[in-house]
Chains A and B, each alone.
Chain A
Amino acid sequence: MHSYRLTHLKELESESMHILREVAAQFDNPTLLFSGGKDSIVCFHLALKAFHPAKVPFNLLHVDTGHNFEEAITFRDALVKKYGANLLVGSVQESIDSGRVQEETGFYASRNKLQTVTLLDSLEKFKVDCAIGGGRRDEEKARAKERVFSHRDEFGQWDPKNQRPELWNIYNGRKRPGEHFRAFPISNWTEMDVWQYIMLEKIEIPNIYFSHEREVFERDGVLYANSSFMRLKPEEKPFKKRIRFRTIGDMSCTGAVDSPASTLEEIIEEVASTRTTERGTRMDDKRSEAAMEDRKKEGYF
């Protein structure tokens, strides 16, 4: 008799597939938030498995800040084409143009916070009743408290102190009209698990995760890609460097890491030996001790 034992990656995969199927069964119009970053790519890959051989029964929604890495957009479009997925786009630029939000100014201007309005508007416009996200509990302290099925009121707000208890693998997605849910199928994955799974499953990811030469500048000890979206201070001089990105977000808030890692094996080795968290390169989290909790309460993902 052999032992029925699962490796940690296979157990996580199994849990995530179960969650994705529960989402499909409990909601009318669930939609996968898709940024072209590795976490949303892994979610999509898990959805392919969960519904095989049928198509993924979700639309993809990209909340587009307009400050994108070109490589991420190219990747997004190729994936949509390959799998015949339906892509919806919510544009922060449109939110600005229509006066829904005010663009931040100054050197630290970022469209990160503005995304929340665009996201909530898009969910309403496309009648999304459950937004599936690639958020992980290991990313940040406030996220560590998030449920897999996370309830949002009619204003899109999260009430962290009054969350529904979530037991075993029973998920309660009941809601009133106007309310919606966020679902996080890879809640229990760590950054390392995601990389190992990408390697194990040979999942394609945008090339900017791998080491490449790029024009960058340094601000507060973090390297940023130089682009027309960034306003440089006089003392900030761009220079060329071999870097890679550990996360892919809006260009104005995603820092690069000084890294020669050009294969998945090298990235995994780097992640294993790194001494700062993934979000350590994210300017958006550095605003205060509760920066993430505050944004999440308002409806951020």
Chain B
Amino acid sequence: MKDETSGYLDMDLLRFTTAGSVDDGKSTLIGRLLYDTKQIFEDQMEAVQQASAKRGTGEVDLSLLTDGLRAEREQGITIDVAYRYFATPRRKFIIADTPGHIQYTRNMVTGASTANLAIILVDARKGIQEQTRRHSFIASLLGIPHVVFCINKMDLVDYDQATFERIQRELEDFSSRLEVHDIRYLPISALKGDNVVTRSKVMDWYQGPTLMYLLESIHIAGDHNHVDRRFPVQQVIRPMTTEHHDFRGFAGRVAGGVFRKGDKVHVLPSGFESTIKSINIGEYEVDECFAPQSACMTLADEIDISRGDMIVGANNLPETSQDVEVMLCWFNEKPLQAGGKYAIKHNTRDARCMIKEVLYRMDISTLRKADGDPTLKMNDIGRVMLRTTVPLHFDKYARNRYTGSLILIDEATNETVAAGMIV
């Protein structure tokens, strides 16, 4: 408890996703993490016990902790992304708990978009399943830097080392096609608690870390791009008071790199150059700001800058184009219309775009191009060429998750219909 209060200034934040289906033990794993780190409160536990008794399942169903909507509890499934929070003395964690069925790909993609790490559960009795591939591919596509494969239900295969090693080899083989550089493999039993928070007493053949140790220690400060300076302008701050009469500050969240006072910067799309006069984070003036800080900067010269513009390092410009090639995840019941027009949001910039061409649809179970009709329907992923009404300033998604991402919006319904990763 002392750690909770005295150490809080030195904790950082790890966001992770767990994707899985009804029976692979995902809810049990989350329940286990929360329970073993003492995050489940008495009244929550009581509510779960009552609800479990009402359903007559006998055992206390920890998944009831995470399924929040009435329809989810009634149907015993997770429909939407649920965010769960817990902390240890070392770190605060945000779990984006997402359903695993193919029809919920859009929720998985949503949860993955902000994650540092993905936990992918594999049933030790079944080995790699179609959905293992799908989850892994989504983690890779969404640029999650760290993936942990948990070979779960080891208790049901007598904690057999050979079974674990066989599945690990299969996973390694298949992961070589993914673009994830940090992949770990763990034998666990979420139900019995082996290697989740506490080390397994039975699997003495496994010498690696527990899942909790990994979550607490994995290096995440390097997950942000601190090389290419990118500052999408959200707002122009003009107090117009006597005290700050001529103040014109540019507010935004650093999307990449480190900006320092005195740095020479380039403004897009105008192309004007200037130097940074001051940087503020809230009321504090600072010498530098870096991704993902929210800051406000002023420039030495009076130049016209407004929302949607981007301040970047003078010697390292992003790409600028009206022709943008993306991997697109389609979210809407109405399929993507080739030649269709959509509103587009990229950083702080709003524009419109036309679908020039659907190059191909992915078969996300085999990670290969699908044959035949390339129409993107709900939960499909494909490679698409867009033509935008104004030039976008972007980096490839693999280089920067924030300047490389965009969403499409149906102009008639205002719904978010797709997420795009620029390739």
Q: How far is the CB of B92 from chain A (nearest CB, A)?
A: 4
User: C-beta contact mask, B280-292 vs A, less than 8 Å → 1, else 0?
Assistant: 1111000000111
Complex Cα–Cα for A273 and B281 (A): 33
Q: How far is the CB of A169 from chain B (nearest CB, A)?
A: 7
Contact of B51 among A24, A54, A289 (CB under 8 A): A289
| Residue B238 lies at the interface, judged by CB distance under 8 Å to chain A | yes
Contacts of B347 in A (CB 8 A): 170
Q: How far is the CB of A6 from chain B (nearest CB, A)?
A: 7
User: C-beta contact mask, B246-265 vs A, less than 8 Å → 1, else 0?
Assistant: 01010111000010000000
Whether A168 contacts B405 in the complex (CB less than 8 A), given A14-B292, A18-B253, A49-B283, comes out as yes
Contact of B94 among A10, A188, A276 (CB under 8 A): A188
Contact of B69 among A53, A161, A175 (CB under 8 A): A161
Q: Are B11 and A8 in contact (CB under 8 A)?
A: yes
Q: How far is the CB of B393 from chain A (nearest CB, A)?
A: 15
Complex Cα–Cα for A47 and B147 (A): 36
Complex Cα–Cα for A266 and B106 (A): 43
Q: Are A21 and B94 in contact (CB under 8 A)?
A: no
Q: How far is the CB of B386 from chain A (nearest CB, A)?
A: 16
Complex Cα–Cα for A187 and B252 (A): 20
Contacts of B405 in A (CB 8 A): 167-168, 170
Stretch at the interface among A34-42, A192-200, A238-246: A192-200
Q: Are A277 and B4 in contact (CB under 8 A)?
A: no
Q: Are A11 and B235 in contact (CB under 8 A)?
A: no
Considering only CB atoms and an 8 Å cut-off, how many residues of chain B contact the other chain? Answer: 85
| Residue B84 lies at the interface, judged by CB distance under 8 Å to chain A | yes
- Contact residues of A between 106 and 161, Cβ < 8 Å to B: 137-138, 140-145, 160-161
Q: Are B69 and A165 in contact (CB under 8 A)?
A: no
Contact of B13 among A8, A52, A140 (CB under 8 A): A8
Complex Cα–Cα for A5 and B222 (A): 8
| Residue A79 lies at the interface, judged by CB distance under 8 Å to chain B | no
- Counting chain B CB atoms within 10 Å of each CB, the highest count among A167, A190, A290 belongs to A167
| Residue B407 lies at the interface, judged by CB distance under 8 Å to chain A | yes
Contacts of A276 in B (CB 8 A): 41-43
Contact of B4 among A9, A18, A52, A268 (CB under 8 A): A268
Contacts of B185 in A (CB 8 A): none
Whether A165 contacts B51 in the complex (CB less than 8 A), given A141-B68, A172-B409, A275-B42, comes out as no
Q: How far is the CB of A269 from chain B (nearest CB, A)?
A: 5
Contacts of A176 in B (CB 8 A): 414
Q: Are A52 and B401 in contact (CB under 8 A)?
A: no
| Residue B177 lies at the interface, judged by CB distance under 8 Å to chain A | no
| Residue B314 lies at the interface, judged by CB distance under 8 Å to chain A | no
| Residue A229 lies at the interface, judged by CB distance under 8 Å to chain B | no
Contact of B345 among A163, A172, A269 (CB under 8 A): A172
Q: Are A289 and B8 in contact (CB under 8 A)?
A: no
| Residue B415 lies at the interface, judged by CB distance under 8 Å to chain A | yes
| Residue B234 lies at the interface, judged by CB distance under 8 Å to chain A | yes
Considering only CB atoms and an 8 Å cut-off, how many residues of chain A contact the other chain? Answer: 69
| Residue B155 lies at the interface, judged by CB distance under 8 Å to chain A | no
| Residue A98 lies at the interface, judged by CB distance under 8 Å to chain B | no
Q: Are A12 and B345 in contact (CB under 8 A)?
A: no
Complex Cα–Cα for A48 and B92 (A): 25
Contacts of B68 in A (CB 8 A): 140-145, 293
User: C-beta contact mask, B213-248 vs A, less than 8 Å → 1, else 0?
Assistant: 000000001001010000000110111110110010
Complex Cα–Cα for A272 and B4 (A): 7
Complex Cα–Cα for A166 and B415 (A): 11
Whether A21 contacts B234 in the complex (CB less than 8 A), given A164-B416, A165-B416, A277-B41, comes out as yes
Q: Are B409 and A4 in contact (CB under 8 A)?
A: no
Complex Cα–Cα for A7 and B12 (A): 4
Q: Are B253 and A14 in contact (CB under 8 A)?
A: yes
| Residue A298 lies at the interface, judged by CB distance under 8 Å to chain B | no
Q: Are A18 and B294 in contact (CB under 8 A)?
A: yes
- Write 9 A-B pairs (CB below 8 A) sorted by A numbering: A4-B221, A8-B91, A10-B293, A11-B13, A17-B253, A17-B282, A54-B239, A165-B419, A293-B68
New A-B pairs, 13, CB < 8 Å, besides A4-B224, A168-B405: A4-B221, A14-B253, A15-B292, A17-B253, A18-B253, A51-B251, A160-B69, A161-B71, A165-B109, A165-B416, A167-B113, A188-B85, A275-B41
